Amino acid sequence: MKFNLNTENINYVKINYKDRNDFAHCIKAAVRFINEIELLVCAKVEEDLNINTPQEVSLGIACENGLYKAKTTLKRIEKEPPYLLFSMQKPEDMEYQQKREYFRVKVQENANIIYDENAQKIKISALTYDISANGVRIELDKDVSFPEQVRLILSLPQKTIDVKALYIRSDKEDQIIKASFQFIDISQTDLDYISQMCLRKQLEDRRKNLM
């Protein structure tokens, strides 16, 4: 599916570029304006980027109806404190990728699963297996019959998230039982935090693979 860039309601843009040492990076930016030849976006960056311009870059374009990908040329970067402005050639089209942008990364952090059973409150302490802004998989010592909805308390780095979740299923892989949950009624603040955490972890893993 291809769409003209002007026809979509863009929430934000992620620019995937390489620095002068040929390491891959990703930066999230807001759209300033689009005209017939140029796409201008801005991002808060504390330091100057170690990046050559012009260069070919890949864009992740988060729209109201899904995530799209496009390739274009980053022509120049301008300072407008506290922002940097990224001037790019307007992509001719966008390639549809998925309904929502969710990065799933493997993380092991403390998690509590809380639910009611026979008028009693049950609390299971466990570890997360992986997580995305959409949901989480949690490692279990044994198979458990969960109700449709549970409460999850996730002790993530620098933030504890308390959220209602829908139980999806349990699978046994590599002798590990993993229960899958989908977040419901998650706040925008918590969703943004998980998304950024997943993105940082994904970039860290990518850099390790390059070393």
The pLDDT of residue 8 is 61
Nearest alpha-carbon partner for 89 in 43, 37, 41: 37
pTM of the complete model: 0.54
User: Can you tell me the distance from the alpha carbon of 30 to that of 51, in angstroms, rounded to the nearest whole number?
Assistant: 19
Sign of the dihedral defined by the CA atoms of residues 192, 196, 201, 202, in that order: positive
In tens digits, the chain (211 residues) has pLDDT values of: 455 665 567 878 888 888 888 877 778 888 888 888 899 999 887 677 888 899 999 888 877 667 788 899 999 999 888 889 999 998 877 776 655 556 778 899 999 999 998 889 999 999 999 998 889 999 999 889 899 999 999 999 889 999 999 998 888 877 889 999 989 888 888 988 888 888 888 777 766 665 5
User: Can you tell me the distance from the alpha carbon of 94 to that of 70, in angstroms, rounded to the nearest whole number?
Assistant: 5
The pLDDT of residue 53 is 92
Contact in structure between 41 and 95 (CB atoms under 8 Å): no
User: Can you tell me the distance from the alpha carbon of 59 to that of 9, in angstroms, rounded to the nearest whole number?
Assistant: 15
| 3-state SS record for the chain | CEECHHHCCEEEEEEEEECCCCCEEEEEEEEEEECCCEEEEEEECCCCCCCCCCEEEEEEEEECCEEEEEEEEEEEEEEECCEEEEEEECCCCEEEEECCCCCCEECCCEEEEEEEECCEEEEEEEEEEEECCCEEEEEECCCCCCCCEEEEEEEECCEEEEEEEEEEEEEEECCEEEEEEEEECCCHHHHHHHHHHHHHHHHHHHHHHHC
The pLDDT of residue 187 is 87
**What are the pLDDT digits (tens) for 103-112?**
778 899 999 9
Domains and CATH numbers, the chain: 2-98 (2.30.110.10), 105-206 (2.40.10.220)
